[in-house]
């Protein structure tokens, strides 16, 4: 029978190997087309408050959804690509599966009790831990919290920016923008003291009022997120949110 000390040694060795391999995997160079904070993007843009309101309403109408996301985070020393499957079900059940270079194989599930069950990938995937939903270990590569990655929370970010005194503008109609594969509204958040530098730029699906791409320029680590293969109200089982 293996001793406790020996078991801990094996686990720690696996953790070290996973961390090192993870760093090597995401130390690549990534680029994002049309990622710049100069604005406005279009000559004719109107106030964006109504669209932000519609984004909140559209997200609130959803009972559940699944999608594939990717976030490119521009850190000083390296550029990180985080890609994963995200599942959401009301009132606040979430499942996050990392499938890209960053923390590949990791899974985190936010259950009905408000706690997160999670395991890393690789050779330590058999070790499941219970964590608070706000634990920093669950943060994305850009620093966003897992529990704030649903569409309702994202729309609240924009709403809160307006409450803080920032302004918004949006394209008069959906347009085809570089780096976005479909016609979208172009929504920009900016400071009243600096109208030519955008803080956030969001490309919004005109049919669902959900973001397709979201560029953050005012983070310590600027980043660009995209959402694809979005499936709405598919009737996700509660069992998906158990671990």
What pLDDT is attached to residue 16? 37
**How far apart, in whole angstroms, are the C-alpha atoms of residue 95 and residue 109?**
4
- Domain limits for position 24: 4-241
**How far apart, in whole angstroms, are the C-alpha atoms of residue 122 and residue 11?**
11
| pLDDT at residue 10 greater than cutoff 70 | no
148 or 15: which carries more pLDDT confidence? 148
What pLDDT is attached to residue 127? 86
Indicate which CATH number applies to the domain containing 31: 2.50.20.10
What pLDDT is attached to residue 27? 53
Tally of domains in the chain = 1
Query: pTM (2 decimals)?
Result: 0.87
Return the closest-CA partner of residue 81 out of 152, 22, 7: 22
How confident is the model over 190-208, as pLDDT tens digits?
Answer: 999 999 999 999 999 999 9
According to DSSP, the β-strands at 79-89 and 185-191 are unpaired
């Amino acid at each position: 029978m293996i001793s406790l000390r020996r078991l801990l040694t094996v686990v720690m060795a696996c953790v070290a190997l996973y961390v090192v391999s993870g760093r090597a995997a995401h130390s690549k160079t990534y680029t994002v087309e049309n990622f710049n904070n100069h604005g406005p993007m279009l000559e004719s843009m109107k106030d964006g408050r109504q669209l932000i309101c519609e984004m909140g309403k559209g997200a609130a109408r959803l009972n559940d959804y699944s999608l594939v996301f990717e976030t490119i985070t521009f850190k000083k020393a390296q550029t990180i690509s985080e890609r994963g499957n995200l599942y959401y079900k009301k009132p606040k059940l979430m499942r996050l599966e990392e499938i890209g270079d960053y923390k590949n194989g990791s899974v985190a599930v936010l259950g009905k009790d408000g706690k997160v069950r999670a395991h890393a990938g690789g050779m330590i995937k058999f070790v499941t831990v219970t964590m608070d939903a706000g634990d920093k270990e669950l943060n994305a590569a850009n620093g966003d919290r897992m529990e704030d990655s649903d569409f309702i929370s994202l729309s609240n970010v924009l709403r809160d920016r307006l409450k803080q005194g920032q302004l918004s503008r949006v394209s008069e109609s959906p347009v085809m923008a570089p780096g976005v594969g479909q016609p979208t509204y172009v929504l920009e958040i900016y400071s009243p003291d600096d109208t030519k530098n955008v803080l956030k730029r969001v490309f919004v699906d005109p049919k669902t009022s959900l973001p397709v791409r979201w560029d953050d320029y005012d983070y310590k680590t600027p980043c660009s997120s995209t959402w694809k293969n979005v499936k709405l109200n598919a009737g996700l089982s509660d069992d998906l949110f158990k671990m």
